[in-house]
Amino acid sequence: MGEPSWSSEAWEQFRPVAGWYRMRRPPAFAGEHWTRRPWLAVLVHYSAPLDPDTGEVLDRAPRWQAVLDGRDVDISTVWPWAARNPVSEAEYEEMLRNDR
């Protein structure tokens, strides 16, 4: 038997793409404040990580990162699920404002 064949389209869904998205609440976050709304704002970006205490850019290699409703989360929490629902930056900002 040969290697399984992966179409490039199928493989691409697993590669993060920087942008703004929306997604349903991940099961891992049951019981948290995210249960109030059906859609959550997601930001995916590729950049150097920030120091969690000071917010300064760390001297580290860039990496894929995600922000779920204004909170930093591991990229695997949102990707590839958020990929199905891209939104504009304005829609992303509106979702964040509506939660406050």
pLDDT one-digit tens code per residue, 60-92: 899 999 999 888 889 998 998 899 899 999 999
Q: Helix, strand or coil for residue 58? A: coil
Q: b vs e for 20-57, b when ≥16 Cβ sit within 10 Å of the residue's Cβ?
A: bbbbebbeebeeeebeeeebbbbbbeeeeeeeeeeeee
CA angle 11, 3, 84 (to 5 degrees): 15
| Pick from 87, 89, 67, 86: nearest CA to 77 | 67
% of the chain beyond a pLDDT of 90: 39
| Pick from 17, 28, 37, 4: nearest CA to 82 | 17
Residues 6+ apart with CB under 8 A from 35: 25
Name which residue leads in pLDDT, 37 or 88.
88
The per-residue pLDDT of the chain, averaged, comes to 81
Q: In the predicted model, is pLDDT for residue 22 greater than 80?
A: yes
Q: In the predicted model, is pLDDT for residue 7 greater than 50?
A: no
Residues 93, 83: Cα–Cα separation, whole Å: 18
User: Where residue 20 falls among pLDDT bands split at 50, 70, 90?
Assistant: very high
